[in-house]
Amino acid sequence: MRIHFFSKADLNGRSAFRSHYILQNLRTVKSICVIYFIFTVIIRGLFFAFSLSHQTEHHIDEYNAANWIALVVLPLFYLTGTLLIKNFANRPKYLRLTQFFVLLFATFIIFGSMRASFFSMHNPRNTLVMYLMGLIIIGAFYTFEYYETIGITLVTGIIFSTLLPFYQHTINELVLNNLASLVLLVTFFCISRYLFSYRADNFLKLKAIEEKNLEIENASNAKNEILGVVAHDLRNPLAIIKSITMLMEMDDFKADDYLENLQMIQASCDKASFIINDLLETAQNETVNNFELEKTELGEFLFSIINEWLKNKKGQVNINYTTPGLPVYAQVNKEKLQRVMDNLIINAIKFSGPNGNIDINLSAIHNEVTISVKDSGIGIPQDMLPYIFDRFSKARRSGIRGEASVGLGLSIVRQIIRKHNGEIEVDSSEKQGTTFTITLPQVKSTLQVPNLVSTHAPLEQDLGVRY
């Protein structure tokens, strides 16, 4: 455990810890108010029962006045503490106000115990028990940052030194009493900082355990979801394969149907492989913290991906690709980024008509690279947008040609982009199309490389995707 004598808690979790201990401080204020008030009422009862105020005990008038002050002030602290707890908010300004209230109450308690020591005997140095008790109570029950603890220590020392001459007049006693107060204040500071460090350490450990438990819970839920996908989505293509093979075994099966059925078997196998690949990709991205990245000129890289689509797919689609006038560089994993682009292009095709356009735009602004993929398809309903990147998303839909969806594609896309220190956003309106926008950190190039891709390159070729 690290002792934070003159430092704050570790940065990770500091804000949550501060909010937590300030709330605990408020609750402790209420508890001590109740205990102190009961004790004060008992003392007041003794005053009335034995008429102490009319006797000649040393400093009895000061005791009496202090008792009345406590009876009035303690309910105010209690009610204010209750109000602050009821309206507690994790805002910096509110937390500062609340902690100032706690510091005010702590000073009141220490001052009360110091005052009792002054009233007890002519020489406070010989009876500092009450003063020590006040310091220990505040140091043990409250959590303060180091600068707050230093502030309490300095204020307490100044108050003690200011009041002492009213009770002691000789130089020797003034020096010795101030020295005794200094020892107690150093003890108070050490106790307060040690307990602060202990609480901070425990809090951060508990937070880490909670995060791990949440990860375990999420992993367990993911396992159940994956099992559900495997049981449900893989059952269909396998059932189709089984049915077709049974038909092919029948004696009256026509040879003319062989080609069509083989194509259906192949399509079912492709669908099953697609589901399995998505599941493996999801699991791999969760276990790998970072990808191997390399500096890549994105204009040429995206151009090669689009060309591959144009060459290897069948059907009809229009792809318009736009790049800036200069090369754009970023640190990327080419295999993973290609997976991202493939997913977004497939998604655009699934929800676009046969004559629709897909606009892919690359730009670089303010040290950021932006890649957008825009389609003119059916769009995404507004109530589905918040869930579009969820794993096994409830926003998954079949394509306009009946293409099935596992609900993992966009989740994989966001996983990959975030591990590139980037982000992906979606903007969509029903019947007006959807735009996915990827933002990545740009890498500056020291070389002036000629433009590799035209500023506006419409690529049109028969493209089609069989699902």
- What pLDDT, in 10s, does the model give residues 381-432? 888 888 888 776 665 666 666 565 666 778 888 888 988 899 999 998 888 8
> For 348-362, 367-381, 382-396, which range has the lowest pLDDT when averaged over its residues?
382-396
Of 261 and 425, the one with more pLDDT: 425
C-alpha 144 chain-centroid distance: 24
Q: How confident is the model at residue 165 (pLDDT cuts 50, 70, 90)?
A: confident
Nearest to 278, CA basis, from 393, 441, 421, 432: 393
Joined tokens for residue 17: 């810890």
Q: How far is CA 310 from CA 27, 303, 319, 342, 398, in A?
A: 67, 11, 9, 12, 24
**The pLDDT value given to residue 200:** 87
Contact between 189 and 150 under an 8 Å Cβ cutoff? The reply is yes
Weakest-pLDDT range from 76-90, 301-315, 444-458? 444-458
> Nearest 5°: CA angle at 27, between 25 and 32?
90
Residue 445 exposure: Cα atoms within 13 Å on the Cβ side: 15
Q: What phi and psi values does residue 395 have, to the nearest 5 degrees?
A: -90, 0
pLDDT at 306 over 60: yes
Residue (of 27, 111, 98) closest to 69 by Cα position: 111
Report the pLDDT averaged over residues 356-370.
Answer: 89
At residue 81, the pLDDT reads 93
**What integer is the mean pLDDT of 190-204?**
88
Residue 458 confidence (pLDDT) above 50? no
pLDDT grade for 285, boundaries at 50, 70 and 90: low
pLDDT at site 438: 94
The yes-or-no verdict on residue 455 having pLDDT over 60 is no
Position 214 scores a pLDDT of 85
Higher pLDDT, 389 or 52: 389
Instruction: Identify the pLDDT of residue 249.
Output: 64
Q: Which pair of tokens denotes residue 462? A: 């028969």
What's the pLDDT band for 453 if we cut at 50, 70, 90?
very low
Residue of higher predicted confidence among 328 and 120: 328
Q: What is the pLDDT of residue 54?
A: 46
DSSP β-bridge partners for residue 15: none
Mean pLDDT of 264-273: 72
* 459 pLDDT more than 50: no
At residue 17 the predicted structure's pLDDT band, cuts being 50, 70 and 90, is: confident
Supply the mean pLDDT for the chain: 79
pLDDT of 59: 65
At 457 the pLDDT is: 41
Residues 6+ apart with CB under 8 A from 432: 376, 379
Among 125-129, 315-319, 344-348, where is mean pLDDT lowest? 125-129
Closest Cα to residue 263, out of 236, 242, 244, 239?
244
283 pLDDT band (50/70/90 cuts)?
low
Examine the pLDDT at 182 and tell me if it is beyond 70.
yes
Cβ-Cβ contacts under 8 Å for 327 (sequence gap 6 or more): 297, 299, 300, 445, 449, 451, 452
- Is the predicted pLDDT of residue 131 greater than 80, yes or no? yes
Which of the two residues, 71 and 246, has the higher pLDDT score? Answer: 71
Q: Is the pLDDT of residue 467 over 50?
A: no
Structural contact between residues 435 and 426, judged by C-beta atoms closer than 8 angstroms: yes
- pLDDT of residue 71 exceeding 60, the answer is yes
Q: How many helices (H) and strands (E) does the chain have?
A: 11, 8
Whether pLDDT at 51 is above 90 = no
Percentage, residues of the chain above pLDDT 90? 24
pLDDT of residue 63: 77
Of 120-124, 365-369, 378-382, the poorest mean pLDDT is in 120-124
Q: Write down the pLDDT at residue 424.
A: 93
The CA angle 279-305-348, to the nearest 5 degrees, is 65
